[in-house]
Amino acid sequence: GENVEQHPSTLSVQEGDSAVIKCTYSDSASNYFPWYKQELGKRPQLIIDIRSNVGEKKDQRIAVTLNKTAKHFSLHITETQPEDSAVYFCAADNDYKLSFGAGTTVTVRA
Amino acid sequence: DTAVSQTPKYLVTQMGNDKSIKCEQNLGHDTMYWYKQDSKKFLKIMFSYNNKELIINETVPNRFSPKSPDKAHLNLHINSLELGDSAVYFCASSQSGGGPTYEQYFGPGTRLTVT
């Protein structure tokens, strides 16, 4: 099955700086790579996703890049704000299900 | 107008009891899921139903039994609860299309505490 590794597990950034989270996956058949944000005590919510026919996708301050050859993808958050503090999960699809990374706790310092 | 709802939000019970968690979605999706999120925040899929048919059944103790009476509802029944079952259980739904390549909408979660 799919194995998704996510790094770092925790990330502390100064407000206004950028944050980068990296994930690797094992199954070359995976084609869909979503990122979910989970605020404390809340449900995970999709913030951006990318499919295998695209190398990069951007939505305002967040962007995702995908390298299918190397089997890794990354989330970039620019101009971080306090409301970006949350746990971020990457995921990859495999056999009709999503396999999630272990999560990255992002703390934005004011 | 809640998209995916779960009841109850909190569940505190003793070891050995049997309990159920209910989930409903009003998005018109035909695929629903149960996830378990442990204390380390790891999200692990347990089950998935597509049009009331079980399509994913991960390595889950058979004390856990999902039931889908229709494609808008997916319930989770747990027998003989154990301490290790304490976690947050999330229901989710998505469109189907031959695979989970659509956004999954999560419910608010049910925090289960077994004492």
Which of A4, A36, A42, A43 is the best mutation test for B, with the most CBs of B within 10 A? A43
Phi/psi at B85 (nearest 5 deg)?
-80, -10
* pLDDT tens digits for range A19-65: 999 999 999 989 999 999 999 999 999 999 999 888 999 999 999 99
Q: What residues pair up with B93 in beta bridges, in sequence order?
A: B32, B105
How far is it, in rounded angstroms, from Cα B93 to Cα B29?
6
Q: Tell me whether residues A103 and B43 touch, CB distance under 8 A.
A: yes
Higher pLDDT, B103 or B11: B11
Name the residue with higher pLDDT: A29 or A101: A101
Q: Write out pLDDT tens, residues A61-97.
A: 999 999 999 999 999 999 999 999 999 999 998 877 8
Q: Name the residue facing A98 among B41, B100, B109 (closest C-beta).
A: B100
pLDDT, average across residues B13-27: 97
Distance of CA B112 to the CA centre of its chain: 12
Mean pLDDT of B96-105: 73
Look over chain A and give the mean of its residue pLDDT values, rounded to a whole number: 95
Distance from CA of A19 to the nearest CA of B (A): 20
B55 chain-A contacts, CB cut-off 8 A: 96
Under an 8 A CB cutoff, do A97 and B48 touch? Answer: yes
Cis amide bond preceding B100, omega within 30: no
pLDDT on residue B60:
86
How much helix, strand and coil, in percent to the nearest 5, is found in chain A? 5, 60, 40
Under a CB-based contact definition with an 8 Å cutoff, are residues B47 and B60 in contact? Answer: yes
Give B21-58 pLDDT, tens digit per residue.
999 999 999 899 999 999 989 999 999 998 888 888 88
Average pLDDT in chain B: 92
**Residue B1 in this model has a pLDDT that exceeds 60:** yes
Q: How far is B72 from chain A (nearest CA, A)?
A: 19
Q: How far is A36 from chain B (nearest CA, A)?
A: 10
- Residue B100: pLDDT over 70: no
- Between A1 and B6, the higher pLDDT residue: B6
CA distance B50 to B78: 21
What does R_g of chain A's alpha carbons equal in angstroms?
A: 13
Q: Cβ contacts (< 8 Å) between B107 and chain A: which residues?
A: 43
pLDDT computed for residue B102 by the predictor: 81
**Is the minimum CB–CB distance between B109 and chain A shorter than 8 Å?**
yes
Instruction: Quote the percentage of chain B above a pLDDT of 70.
Output: 96
Contacts of B2 (CB under 8 A, 6+ apart): B26
Does the pLDDT value for residue B97 go beyond 70? no
